[in-house]
Amino acid sequence: MMHTTLLAPATPYQQFSDDADIIAFFEAYNALMQEIIFWMVGHPMALYIGPALTGNLLSYCALCLYGQFRYRISYVELRSVTGAIDTTTINRLSVDETVIDKRYIGNSISDDLFKRILTWNFYKGDGLNFSIPWLKRRIMRFLTGDDGHAWRFNSTDPVSVRLEGRKVIITPDTGPWSHDLVIILSRILTNGILNVPPMFTFMVKTSKSTAL
């Protein structure tokens, strides 16, 4: 348990103990240290699931304590560039030539999603051996654990997982989670943000059998 009061306040040397200005300086310093203690108690750095860690502070703590970078969910935009005269940079294309430009775009993930990712990657209760029950529990925890909480759930039946060779097909049923969250799960699995065995490829489908 962390102490909430300053145990060893700073004090001036004896020869300065009758100087009002120095005494005031040390009192102000001790008051500042006490405020820092109160702040540290209210913001436990390792407890990311609490409401205290948000924004850049959450990113800082996740990176420094867990080594987890706050990724961006990226996707690729394809643009067709044609070579008509005066429509592109000089000497880039020959006349009437066509190339496809790939532009990588990403959106920063929210605090809620980032905490779900942290719980997926660092939750130790399931062990480290990959299996279908392991994966189903991870998915249920991701879908139901707002702000990264590892809530208890009675069953993993809402999540269907089957293997086709080295392809893992995941089909979550309709539940208390949003459809957007299922789409995000598909993207971050594809981007390699979640810790899963690299020898498998993962595909997420909706309960309507639509691949995401």
The pLDDT tens digits for 14-57 are: 999 889 999 999 999 999 999 988 888 888 888 888 788 899 99
Mean per-residue pLDDT for 78-93? 59
Cα angle value 74/135/62 (rounded, 5°): 50
Residues above pLDDT 70, as percent of the chain: 80
Distance CA 62, CA 114 (A): 9
Q: How confident is the model at residue 209 (pLDDT cuts 50, 70, 90)?
A: very low
C-beta of residue 182 within 8 angstroms of C-beta of residue 204: yes
The pLDDT tens digits for 147-186 are: 999 888 888 999 999 999 999 999 998 888 888 889 889 8
pTM to 2 decimals?
Answer: 0.71
Q: Of 176, 173, 185, 170, which is closest to residue 116 (Cα–Cα)?
A: 185
Half-sphere exposure of 10 (CA within 13 A, CB side): 15
The pLDDT tens digits for 100-142 are: 555 545 567 889 999 999 999 999 998 889 999 999 999 999 9
C-beta of residue 144 within 8 angstroms of C-beta of residue 177: yes
The pLDDT tens digits for 49-65 are: 878 889 999 999 999 99
Look at residue 78 and tell me whether its pLDDT is greater than 50: no
Structure tokens given for 126 = 């399931």
